[in-house]
A = this chain, B = another copy of it.
Amino acid sequence: MSQSDPLREQIIARFDAMSAQLQQAARYVLEHPEEVALVSMRELARLAAVQPATMTRLAKVLGFQGYNEIRAYYAETVRKRNDGFAAKVRQRDVETTSTPESDIAHHMLHGISAQIAALCEPEPLQCLTAMADRLAAAKKVYVLGLRSSHVVAWHFHYVMSLLGERSVHLDGPAGTGGDALIRAKPDEVMLVVSIKPYAVDTLVLAQLAKDKGLAVLSITDSEVSPLAGISEHTIYCATDSYSFFHTLTPALAVSEVLCTLLAELDRPSALKALQDADDHLAHLNTYSNTLPRRV
């Protein structure tokens, strides 16, 4: 944790040149960095047995404009520690020839990367495998995701359709998307993808599926998502990004993992299905490695 904390280094460097009171304040800050972020300046002064004004002076000695800058620094440290890569981030920021644009891009990508890494925790991993098992056991899978979540739903359906014929994408023109549910039976399941703001149609169809006795499995963004209550299994993925929009990238990663696990659960037939698809597409000359020659 302590390695490569520039402020800490600076405090140590200037420590000997400080007055007695400043040293006492600095010492407390060094030994309890997180308290700086957690309590008020006066409270901190009380804890360090120092006058409030001393903290302000310490800030100035260290080249800050005011005490709040010290606090902001340590608050940031606490935040960074949350997403693992704390040390790396600060290093990078220095070296990057940062335009405002590339800064935004950098922030976003870093954040998304961390959010996906967070899915490697035991808990989400367990949810993933459990959901994959449930999907594998189902006779048919209805896939539902509207608006922005369409991305994820479509991807899942596309890959599943390469693997076999158990997937039905609930999507269609003129509001016909839900029609496939008409003949849904209880030994089938629905995979719903929805993040805030939740599309009404999604919620309606999910509830309908549940009422029909289907198991609802969902990929959503929060324990308090309306989907959480009606789902047999739920996978939560972060959607915050440093931009106007929510990110669906972690959700797409989840979908990819689910597809892989499903294929993995029946490796032989997955291989067979993919081979068939390959052959089919090869016949149609769907793919190529070179630009087409003009004719």
Instruction: Say whether chain A's binding surface is mostly helix, strand, loop, or mixed.
Output: helix
Residue of B at shortest CB range from A288?
Answer: B200
Residue of B at shortest CB range from A244?
Answer: B263
Residue of B at shortest CB range from A228?
Answer: B12
Residue of B at shortest CB range from A162?
Answer: B245
> Does A30 belong to the interface (CB within 8 Å)?
yes
> Does A151 belong to the interface (CB within 8 Å)?
yes
On whether the beta carbons of A85 and B243 are closer than 8 Å, the reply is: no
Select which of B34, B265, B271, B291 is within 8 A of A79 by beta carbon: B34
Residue among A270, A291, A294 with the most chain B CB within 10 A?
A291
> Does A138 belong to the interface (CB within 8 Å)?
no
Stretch at the interface among A48-56, A59-67, A122-130, A178-186: A122-130
Interface hits, A67-87 → B, CB 8 Å = 75, 78-79, 81-82, 85-86
> Does A168 belong to the interface (CB within 8 Å)?
no
Select which of B16, B117, B248, B270 is within 8 A of A252 by beta carbon: B248
On whether the beta carbons of B30 and A203 are closer than 8 Å, the reply is: no
> Does A209 belong to the interface (CB within 8 Å)?
no
| Contact mask for chain A residues 263-295; partner B; CB cutoff 8 A; 1 contact, 0 none | 111000011001000000000011111111010
Select which of B92, B120, B132, B287 is within 8 A of A120 by beta carbon: B92
| Known interface pairs A27-B222, A245-B159; A252-B105 also in contact (CB < 8 Å) | no
On whether the beta carbons of A288 and B129 are closer than 8 Å, the reply is: no
Give the CA-CA distance A252 to B237 in the complex, in Å. 15
> Does A224 belong to the interface (CB within 8 Å)?
yes
Select which of B101, B119, B125, B224 is within 8 A of A264 by beta carbon: B101
On whether the beta carbons of B38 and A79 are closer than 8 Å, the reply is: yes
Give the CA-CA distance A143 to B51 in the complex, in Å. 38
On whether the beta carbons of B132 and A101 are closer than 8 Å, the reply is: yes
> Does A144 belong to the interface (CB within 8 Å)?
no
Give the CA-CA distance A158 to B30 in the complex, in Å. 34
> Does A21 belong to the interface (CB within 8 Å)?
no
Query: Which chain B residues lie closer than 8 Å to A290 at the CB level?
Result: 203, 226
| Known interface pairs A3-B123, A123-B2; A241-B226 also in contact (CB < 8 Å) | no
